[in-house]
């Protein structure tokens, strides 16, 4: 029995020493990050800005979820573009952008959700499947906006965009984030590293 405990302890030490000398696979990636902004428009609708125009968009999905233990989905809104893809810079919930067709309507008021989850997929799945690059179109855009955090400042920031975990910014301030220590860029306008 003592011999088995000795081996387990020795194996744990070896694994710990090896892991200490390596970059952890769960480390945050180095370099720029991407984020978009959200605001409430004059008609009370949720509007999301990608920060720059994204071309070749094939699908848009928006989930309204609760933050209970299961992240229950209250409603999902699906939009599709033609085979060539559409151009997209702004998403206003319930309003179909030009060049897109609504395939599943949104039937729930976004303020009933705890989280708005946005996914933007390229029209050309090969571009996202090749594994090249960390940003759109190599990978789909995924954004989450906490409704509570967002609504806390929405009344006081009509002409600004809420960037999750960052705060409220005018369009000009947002575009300057890429030059700051935060290195946050629009989804489809990330400089080459």
Strand duo 46-65 + 73-81: pairing = antiparallel
- In DSSP notation, 70-137 reads T--EEEEEEEEE-TT-EEEEEEETTBPPTTEEEEE---S-GGG-SEEEEEEEES-HHHHHS---SSTT
Distances (CA, A) of 169 to 62, 92, 162: 23, 18, 7
pTM for this structure?
A: 0.79
Instruction: For residue range 66-89, list pLDDT tens digits in order.
Output: 987 778 999 999 999 977 899 999
Strand duo 73-81 + 33-34: pairing = unpaired
The dihedral built from the CA positions of residue 131, 96, 63 and 165, taken in this order, carries a sign that is positive
Report yes or no: 159 and 36 within 8 Å, Cβ to Cβ: no
State the Cα–Cα distance between residues 11 and 65, nearest whole angstrom: 43
* pLDDT for position 7: 41
* pLDDT for position 178: 86
Report yes or no: 123 and 140 within 8 Å, Cβ to Cβ: no
What mean pLDDT is predicted for residues 124-136? 63
35 or 134, which is more confident: 35
Q: Where are the domains of the chain?
A: 33-185
Closest CA to 126 of 142, 137, 113, 114: 137
Backbone phi, then psi, for 188, in 5-degree steps?
-110, 25
State the Cα–Cα distance between residues 161 and 146, nearest whole angstrom: 14
H/E element, 168: strand 167-169
129 or 157, which is more confident: 157
Judged against a pLDDT cut of 70, whether residue 147 lies above it is answered with yes
């Amino acid at each position: 029995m003592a011999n088995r405990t000795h081996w387990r302890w020795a194996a744990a030490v070896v694994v710990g020493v090896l892991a200490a000398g390596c970059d952890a696979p769960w480390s945050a990636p180095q370099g720029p990050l991407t984020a978009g902004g959200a605001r409430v428009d004059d008609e009370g609708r949720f509007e999301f800005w990608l920060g720059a125009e994204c071309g070749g968009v094939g699908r848009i999905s928006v989930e309204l979820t609760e933050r209970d233990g299961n992240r229950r989905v209250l409603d999902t809104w699906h939009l599709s573009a033609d085979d060539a893809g559409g151009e997209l810079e702004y998403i206003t919930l319930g309003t179909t952008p030009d060049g897109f067709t609504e395939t599943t309507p949104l039937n729930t008021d976004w303020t009933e959700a705890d989280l708005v989850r946005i996914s933007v997929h390229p029209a050309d799945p090969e571009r996202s499947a090749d594994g090249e690059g960390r940003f759109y179109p190599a990978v789909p855009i995924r954004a989450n906006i906490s409704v509570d955090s967002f609504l806390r400042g929405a009344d006081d920031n009509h002409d600004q965009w809420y960037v999750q975990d960052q705060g409220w910014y005018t369009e000009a301030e947002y575009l300057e984030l890429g030059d700051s220590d935060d290195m946050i860029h629009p989804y489809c306008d990330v400089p080459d590293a």
